[in-house]
Amino acid sequence: MIKNLPYTKAKKLLNIDNNAKTVKGQNKGYMTAILYLAPSTQSGFNVCAMASEGCKKACLYTAGHGAFNNVQQGRINKTRWYIQDRESFLIQLRKEISNHIKNCEKKGFIPCIRLNGTSDISWENTKIMDDFPNVQFYDYTKIFKRMKAYVNGQLPSNYHLTYSLNEDNKELAFEVLKMKGNISAVFRKYLPKTYQGYTVINADETDLRFTDSNNVICGLIAKGKAKKDYSGFVLD
């Protein structure tokens, strides 16, 4: 039975970040709108089923604007809305995706959507990608079942997934690489050219993971709390 937790419906679900990675993506002609929910169990509901302890501690949820209490509460409200009244949430989300498409057309950008900015929800089950076949959706995931379905061509063709490595799923991450999928990995101070025989690319340059070559490790440099992680989540 779903808990009944208080929330206020958000006037706006999607955000367009003005961070360096997003701006670099815009320089390549893409504009990404991102949905930020309250990660793990912070809303009272778990939206990151496979989050490890290292992942939780290093989460960038409180980075940037996320450090403000009103922003965090807004993300909690969005998450509770999604869980407790999914139908009206998805109606609002579809409206905002439509508006994002129109905005991109006016400004000359290719529209992209990341629905798991700070969550790991199986959005393919909502059929939302089918409603917007000309929009590129992309996300990171730690759910191996989802990633395997993606690699096997069982997800919508306009939905790209990258598997996120943590201290608990390294064996599965290398299974993904063997299946010719991509994984993301956080490195402590610098990105090696290769890791365990696989090419490492600089994933800090842009967030446009769907433009990456296949069968690579998308390397990220540890930021914020992750710099102090020694659980195995951050690679040395």
CA distance 13 to 35: 6
CA distance 92 to 86: 10
Helix/strand/coil percent split, the chain, to 5: 40, 20, 40
0.85 surpassed by pTM: yes
Q: Is 208 a domain residue?
A: yes
Residue type, 44: G
Q: Is 62 a domain residue?
A: yes
Q: Is 8 a domain residue?
A: no
Q: Is 37 a domain residue?
A: yes
Q: Is 108 a domain residue?
A: yes
Q: Is 39 a domain residue?
A: yes
Question: In this predicted structure, which of 106-110, 178-182, 227-231 has the lowest mean pLDDT?
Answer: 227-231
pLDDT digits (tens, 9 = 90+) for 46-85: 998 877 676 666 665 555 554 557 778 999 999 999 999 9
pLDDT of residue 60: 59
What is the domain count for the chain? 1
Expressed as residue numbers, the domain containing 212 is: 14-235
Instruction: Yes or no: say if 200 and 217 are a contact pair by the CB < 8 Å rule.
Output: yes
Q: Is 45 a domain residue?
A: yes
Main-chain dihedrals φ then ψ at residue 33, nearest 5 degrees: -100, 135
Q: Is 102 a domain residue?
A: yes
* Percentage of residues of the chain with pLDDT beyond 70: 91
